[in-house]
Amino acid sequence: MSKLDLIATATFGLESVVAEEVKQLGYEDVRIENGRVEFSGDELAICRSNLWLRVADRVRLKVGEFKATTFDELFEKTKALPWTDFLPGNAEFPVEGKSVKSTLFSVSDCQAIVKKAVVESMKKKHKVTWFPEDGPLFKIEVALLKDVATLTIDTSGPGLHKRGYRTLIGDAPLKETLAAAMLMLAKWYPDVALIDPFCGSGTIPIEAALMGRNIAPGLNRDFSCSNWPWISPATWAKAREEARDAVRQDKPEYIMGTDIDERVLKVARRNAEQAGVSDDIHFQCLPVSEISTKRKYGKIICNPPYGERIGERDDVAKLYKEMAKTFRQLDTWSYYILTAHPAFEKLFGKPASKRRKLYNGRMEVQYYQYYGPRPPRINRPTE
């Protein structure tokens, strides 16, 4: 297949970050919509994007898009799409759906109609009346937005945040995709020192180490499309060989993760070992008030407690004031703080240079960015 329409789904607020990632993979025909980035590519593009995208939630193959305001219209237009180009006769093809501001608001009915339409489409080619669905998985989604139906097939399987290294997690885990986004939005580079004073199970330092070593986040996992018959083993082998060849041997400048809980730091060390970057990160049990460094420039990137529970609010207010005192002693550093606390800037005692609305799961959060003085210019090699 020479050209496929692909969609990298993204958490709201991170579409532009995902679009930049897609462009860095070499795909220039990029269109940004709410919650998704569309681009064109071939079978190799499916492999590369699943292996390399750090911030996207998943990669979908778009089969078709059309307006539908009646169930008959949804059925006939779905049936007319080229399903047999993608689904083999033994494909397992469950249908999931969603509907927003659309005439066809019953998701269960839309799912049933799409399933029936796909079956009717496949009957013509395979000349059978029943499909065993005991082969590779092709999960179909019908998404209706303002009466426009988009029909896609999920290529990823488990979400792309599941890198495979986090077999153990802390109490309030930060998704790997959001951690990677925080690093990218902070314009962190491996030649810049990094400290996360609330590292928990180590997600931000580990994502930084993976970026610093240029290790593809999906290199050690499989995807739904890994077993699709029309993506050849040779295509997958090429994509994975490219990823292995791209790994850098040089360590990042300095990555440190600290936390006050030695138990959770054991989890972080184990996760870093699973990710293959344990030698690139220094974990230490320290309260934020004791953090210091002799390094002249660097970045603090962190996800501190938010104080959602009533009993925690006073403790969190005190913590933010301690953060302010400690961070300001590092007066040539920049710091980037993710929190949902509505009074963060007041407690921190300083307005951010910039703030950006993001989502941690379903929770709206703000990414507060405080810029330090610009360090001496560094000529970085082109990625």
- Residues 335-358 have a mean pLDDT of 96
pLDDT tens digits, 98-136: 999 999 999 999 999 999 999 999 998 888 888 999 999
Task: Place 167 in a pLDDT band, splitting at 50, 70 and 90.
Answer: confident
Could you tell me if 140 and 151 are in contact, meaning their C-beta atoms sit under 8 angstroms apart? yes
What is the rounded average pLDDT for all residues in the chain?
94
- Residues 303-327 have a mean pLDDT of 87
Q: How many helices (H) and strands (E) does the chain have?
A: 10, 14
User: Considering the chain, what percentage of its residues have pLDDT values greater than 70?
Assistant: 96
Q: Are strands 36-41 and 4-9 parallel, antiparallel or unpaired?
A: antiparallel
Instruction: Give me the pLDDT at residue 378, please.
Output: 63
| DSSP line for 15-83 | HHHHHHHHHHTT----EEETTEEEEEE-HHHHHHHHHH-SS-SEEEEEEEEEE-SSHHHHHHHHHTS-G
pLDDT tens digits, 224-263: 999 999 999 999 999 999 999 999 999 999 999 999 999 9
Q: What are the boundaries of each domain within the chain?
A: 4-154, 176-216+253-370
Instruction: Give me the pLDDT at residue 383, please.
Output: 44
Q: What is the pTM for the complete model shown?
A: 0.94
Q: What string of H, E and C letters represents the secondary structure of 133-182?
A: CCCCECCEEEEEECCEEEEEEECCCCCCCCCCCCCCCCCCCCCHHHHHHH
| H/E element, 323 | helix 313-329
CATH topology of domain 176-216+253-370: Rossmann fold (3.40.50)
Task: Place 87 in a pLDDT band, splitting at 50, 70 and 90.
Answer: very high
Instruction: Give me the pLDDT at residue 169, please.
Output: 62
Instruction: Give me the pLDDT at residue 375, please.
Output: 81
Return the CATH architecture of domain 4-154: 2-Layer Sandwich (3.30)
User: Considering the chain, what percentage of its residues have pLDDT values greater than 90?
Assistant: 89
